[in-house]
A and B are shown apart, each in its own frame.
Chain A
Amino acid sequence: GIQVEQSPPDLILQEGANSTLRCNFSDSVNNLQWFHQNPWGQLINLFYIPSGTKQNGRLSATTVATERYSLLYISSSQTTDSGVYFCAVGEAMDSSYKLIFGSGTRLLVRP
């Protein structure tokens, strides 16, 4: 099955800094989503982005499907950005839309 690798596994930032999180996947996808899991365990959908670029406030994401990677950019980080960021993909030939998750990037933003 498809493999999803996220990097870095852990990241510590000072408030106000920018960061880039990376997601590599091993096969063609029809579905790629980024999620934020906050310290209370809630999973929030940040982006549905199988290709192209999207922006939402201080967050933006780019997926280059032909090169099998996606990037999540966090600008002017805030302490509330802390938590775990997951990338998840769906295989191109699979119509179920089920997602395969990476192991996540754990982000800590210090005040």
Chain B
Amino acid sequence: DADVTQTPRNRITKTGKRIMLECSQTKGHDRMYWYRQDPGLGLRLIYYSFDVKDINKGEISDGYSVSRQAQAKFSLSLESAIPNQTALYFCATSDLARGYGYTFGSGTRLTVV
């Protein structure tokens, strides 16, 4: 099984719908992140979490919300999807205190029509 699992892998949704992307990890890392990648660009940070009680906004949090249900689970919601939220979404974990860099999930390809 993958260390960081994202579901779904692909999703097509309509404008205005609420959608949730889920991420779970088996690495035991405290820190989890949601990033967005647009074609031809690098990744931009949406939200990050240090632990279950700590949620922080990234550079592009408008239109998104998150929930850290447990140390191992971090979900991203689009409350009312719009077409410019069409992108590839990545969840990641890290434990740099122990020298481990980021581990990314396989990504969720979201299309809003």
Contact = CB atoms under 8 A, between A and B. Distances in A.
B104 A45 contact: yes
Interface string A92-111: 00001111111110000000
A45 B103 CA distance: 7
B50 A96 contact: yes
Binding site of B, secondary structure by majority: helix, strand, loop or mixed?
A: strand
B42 A45 contact: no
Contacts, number: 56
Nearest to A100: B45
Dominant SS at the A interface?
strand
Interface string B83-113: 0000010100010100111111011010000
A98 B101 contact: no
A48 B103 contact: no
A31 interface: yes
Interface string B4-43: 0000000000000000000000000001010100001111
Measured as residues with beta carbon below 8 angstroms from the partner, the interface class of chain B is 20 to 34
Interface in A55-111: 86, 88, 96-104
Given A86-B42, A101-B42, A41 B94 contact: no
B45 to A, nearest CB: 5
Interface string B49-64: 0100000101000000
B37 to A, nearest CB: 8
Given A31-B96, A41-B88, A97-B96, A103 B104 contact: no
A99 B56 CA distance: 14
Given A43-B104, A98-B45, 14 more contacts: A4-B42, A31-B96, A33-B101, A35-B102, A35-B104, A41-B106, A42-B104, A43-B90, A97-B94, A97-B96, A99-B33, A100-B45, A103-B42, A104-B42
10 contacts: A4-B42, A33-B101, A41-B109, A45-B102, A48-B99, A48-B101, A86-B43, A98-B45, A98-B58, A103-B41
